[in-house]
Every structure is written in C-alpha cells, then in structure tokens.
Amino acid sequence: MQDILINWSPQETRVGVVENGAVQELHVERTLERGLVGNIYAGRVARVLPGMQSAFIDIGLERAAFLHVADVHVAGSPRAEHGPGAAPPPPIERLVFEGQTLTVQVIKDPIGTKGARLSTQISIAGRLLVFLPQDDHIGISQKIGSHELREQLRTRMNLLAGKPADETAPYNGGGFILRTNAEDATDDELGDDIAYLRKTWGLIRERSFKTPPGELLHQDLSLVERVLRDLASDNTQSIRIDSRMQFDQLVAFGNEFTPTSVSKLVHYKGERPIFDLYNIDDEIARALARRVDLKSGGYLIIDQTEALTTVDVNTGGYVGARNFDDTIFKTNLEATQAIARQLRLRNLGGIIIIDFIDMAREDHQNAVLAELRKQLARDRTKITVSGFTQLGLVEMTRKRTRESLAHMLCEACPICSGKGQVKTARSVCYDILREILREARQFNPKEFRVIASATVVEMLLDEESQHLAGLSDFIGKPISLQAEATGSPEAYDIVLM
C-alpha cells in the first residue's frame, strides 16, 4: 500500500510517496521556478509581420509573445499533416489580423529578451492521454509495443471517446493521443481521463467567452493537484497534506475532477513536521550522495553524468554467506531493490549502466536480472532493461519525465567546477614554481610575491622551502609569500613588485 505526504509552503511544495514504510519517490516544485509552458491565454494580436510570417500577441506579460504561422491551427487541417512534406500553411496575414482575439497556448518559455512562443493548436495533458480539442484524430504513441497492439488500443479509444465507426458521421468530441504510460491502462482509467480532459476544455472555453484579452484562461496543474491526477491510484491508502488552505482547494479540485481520490485526502494537524514521520528530509540528503549503503554491509556508488548514469555494486564488509559466490549473489540480489528505489527517488532518466559484482554462474545472473525486473515493475515510468552484456554490465533506459532530484536541488560546485575533486596543495605549489620561472624569463621585477591559500603557503614554507629557495637563487630575485582566504585551494596569484 501507498501513502502520499504533501509538505506545502508558499515558496515550495514537496511530495513524498511512501510504500511499505520507505520513501520511494520525491517531487519538488518551487513557486518562482514554475514555467509558463502549457498555460492557455486569451491573447490579442498586437502586430502582424508578413515578412517573418509571424505575429506578436499580447497575453498580459511584460513582453509580447510570438506566434509563427506553423503554429497556427487551420480548421479542417489535422495537425498530423503539418509535418515535413506537407502543404505549406496559408500566409499569416490571411489567418490573423491586428486586434483579433485568439485562444493561445505557451509552447516555449520567454528567454532573455525573447517573449514566449505560442501556438493556437491547443493540447491538454492528462494522466494517460493528451487531449486535442480542435482535432478528431486518435493517435497512439509510437513507443508502444507492436503495430497490432497500437491498432487494438486505437479501436478501444475510438469506442471510449464515442467516435462513430462511420468516418463520415459527425463527431466533435476532440482528438486524443494515448501516452506511453497508458499501454496497460484499463477502460475505466482511460474513461476517467477522457471525462477529466473534456471537462477541463469545457471550462477553458467558457472562460474564453467572458475573459478580456491578456488574461490567463488555464494554468497547468500545480504539483499538489498533479498528486490527484498522476500519483494517486487504487493502491493509495491516504494523501496527507499539512496546509488547511491547500487541503480545502484539493478537496474542491478532487470533487470536480477526480472524485474517487477525495476520500483519501487527510489534513495533517500533527505537531511534528509531516516529512519527519518517515525521515524524508534525511532521505533527500542521502538521495543526493554518491554512496548508498546496503543493510548487509555492501554499497552502491551512483554517478550521474550528461550522457548516462552508472551504478556500481560493491560487497563492502559483507561476509555473511558460506562462500564467496554466495556473498556476491546475495549482495547483487539486495542491490536490485536498492537500485530500483534509488532510480525513482532521484528520478534518474536516460541511459543507466549497472555494474553488478561479477558472477561466475549463469543461473545467478538470470536470478539477479529477474529480481531487478520485478523491482522495476513498480515504477510508473517506462523502463527497458537489456540482459547482461559481454562485459557483465546491465544496460537499461528509464524515460525522462522531469529534472532529476540532483539537478533540481543542486548546482555545480564553484570550487571544483563540478569535477568533484581539486588539486593537492603540492600540485598547486609546483604550478606556482613553474609560473614564477615563466614570468622571470619575460619580466624583471624587484620581487615576486605569491598570494595563495594558507595550506599552499604553509607547504611552500615547510616541505617545499628548499625548492622555493633554489628557484629564488636561480632567477636572482626574492620570492615573498602571503596567505589569503581564497575561494578555491587551487587559486593563486603572482604579483610583480
């Protein structure tokens, strides 16, 4: 069973998903970092630019937003036909005019001096589906299984959406794209999503008739609301939230859009912070560390890079089994559960390489791979696992859904620039000695003054004093030292006096 804890504050919302007493997922949203993508506005055409086949649209922001002709929905032209090789759209001046009111959606946030980029082709994301209110097409993600499976899903969706079998019959129920995570969804789950999306679009349409240009018609759901739409399921036992105001708003939202989840909502009134119930803050700190300790004494090392994430499994101090093969096997089995949990907790996506401890027996390899797949089956994100490679590595991919926890909460260290290591004091001393020799060949000062960190200066005065004195004799100039608090132990300066 699953419990969801929501810690709300005006600046930040944090959500912890707890299963069997352990935190499995963390979600964080910061008020000042919420983008505009997905927001729908009542816009007014401020200026049409035929030369650029674009228009500037006033949506009430500091800078006018930008609408290109390729992003203008043309009635009777399915968006599937807007791809490469399709007939070009009519010129922008025939589609929009100055002063016109348009319902527009942000598809790219404003960056620097550029305004937001807009589209009049509206799409609304649900839990399992994307709704295209101006289309009548039923699309299925290409990442879903075989052609036969996609056609089966399309047939189911046509029935659930109420689309007539006769393609010439009238239908205005909108188009849908089945998302990858809907591959195993039941008819009830898909039906609930269809009802939610149509209701959302109905409210947007209603507001568009009453709202003046420059006003927001629909904002993409906040993290608190997405808990009900995306995270709550039949396995959810309770959804506890520590804000009375947000609890009331969530009950109202749930009654309107996800009535089956409302009974699970609980306003948490305890004196202890809600995240202390399961030590979630400690889990967040551990989820940002490289090393993850296993109960047996083994451990994982997780390294996240731009290209991929690597997970290295080590036995550590575990000697509990009868022989070395059993020790390795049991450590690898235990690691599968920890790896599956860490991928969800840290929200690691893309290519993931797991280096299990080498196993001599093939049945051990098969058992570890089967256990890994079993543990990963709980993940709501799409995962593909390959078998062991010739090098004994397991390759897998996990769909990127949002920024990883580390990218959201951390930034590269300004001292080491994200390398994770800095030069030793001795290495910096030798850099300084080489730099003094280089400058002595170009300049003729009275003295060289070295300004460096206290650790480096101390080493130059102590262990490296003989080399410093020898260099001073060789160049025929005195070398003085000055210790200063520097931002980095690698930083130094050489002043010509």
Supply the CATH number for residue 448's domain: 3.40.1260.20
What span, in angstroms and rounded, lies between the C-alpha atoms of 432 and 449? Answer: 11
pLDDT 10s digits, 268-316? 999 999 999 999 999 899 999 999 999 888 999 999 988 899 999 998 7
Q: Is residue 414 part of a domain?
A: no
Do 304 and 405 fall into the same domain?
Answer: yes
- pLDDT, tens digit, 9 for 90 and up, residues 128-158: 899 999 998 899 887 777 888 888 999 999 9
Q: Residues 348, 398: contact at Cβ < 8 Å?
A: yes
Residues 401 and 490 in one domain: no
Does residue 81 surpass a pLDDT of 70?
A: no
Closest among 127, 129, 125 to 232, alpha carbons compared: 127
pLDDT tens column, 351-382: 999 999 999 889 999 999 999 999 999 888 88
Locus of tokens 């030369």: 51
Q: Which helix (H) or strand (E) holds 482?
A: strand 479-483
Domain count, the chain: 4
Per the domain annotation, does 59 fall within a domain? no
297 and 386 part of one domain? yes
- Nearest CA to 244 out of 277, 266, 274, 221 is that of 266
Is there a contact between 73 and 79 (Cβ–Cβ < 8 Å)?
yes
Q: Tell me, yes or no, whether 173 and 270 share the same domain.
A: no
Looking at the structure, tell me whether residues 294 and 362 fall in a common domain. yes
Instruction: Find the CATH number of the domain harbouring 260.
Output: 3.30.420.60
Domain end, chosen from 211, 232, 260, is at 211
CB-based burial, 242-276: b 16+ in 10 Å, e otherwise: bbeebbeebbebbeebbeebbebbeebeeeeebbe
Q: Are residues 367 and 444 in the same domain?
A: no
- Distance, in Å, from the CA atom of 374 to the CA atom of 364, rounded to the nearest integer, reads 15
Whether residue 98 is contained in a domain is answered as no
Shared domain for 237 and 261, answered yes or no, is yes
Q: Of the candidates 226, 245, 278, 239, which has an alpha carbon nearest to the alpha carbon of residue 8?
A: 245
Question: Do 359 and 404 share a domain, yes or no?
Answer: yes
The verdict on residue 50 lying in a domain is no
Tell me if 474 is assigned to some domain. Answer: yes
* The dihedral sign for the CA sequence 239, 242, 243, 248: positive
Structural domain for 432, as ranges: 425-496
| Residue 399 pLDDT exceeds 80 | yes
Q: Which residues pair with 23 in a beta bridge?
A: 18
Residues 339 and 403 in one domain: yes
In a domain, 250, yes or no: yes
Q: CATH number of the domain that 199 lies in?
A: 3.30.230.10
Residue 169 has pLDDT above 90, yes or no: no
pLDDT for position 86: 59
- Going by their DSSP bridges, the two strands 479-483 and 492-496 should be labelled as unpaired
Mark which of 211, 240, 266 sits at the end of a domain: 211
Tell me how far CA of residue 233 lies from CA of 222, 306, 337, in angstroms. 18, 33, 22
Read off the pLDDT of each residue in 474-496 and give the average, rounded to a whole number: 90
* Residue among 114, 122, 113, 104 at smallest CA distance from 67: 104
Parallel, antiparallel or unpaired: strands 129-132 and 175-178: antiparallel
- Out of 211, 245, 267, a domain closes at 211
- On whether residue 444 sits in a domain, the answer given is yes
One domain for residues 206 and 319:
no
Residue with tokens 């500091």: 62
Q: DSSP characters for 63-89?
A: S-EEEEGGGS--TT--GGGGSTTSPPP
**Cα dist from 279 to 251, 272, 302, 312, 368, whole Å:** 27, 11, 22, 26, 30
| Same-domain status, 201 and 240 | no
Answer whether 32's CB lies under 8 Å from 413's CB. Answer: no
Are 168 and 229 within one domain?
no
DSSP one-letter string for 418-465: TSS----HHHHHHHHHHHHHHHHTT---S-EEEEE-HHHHHHHHTTTH
Q: Tokens representing 264? A: 């699970």
Supply the pLDDT for residue 77. 59
Question: Does residue 48 lie in a domain region?
Answer: no
Whether pLDDT at 321 is above 60: no
Q: What is the pLDDT of residue 319?
A: 60
The reported pLDDT for the residue numbered 366 is 94
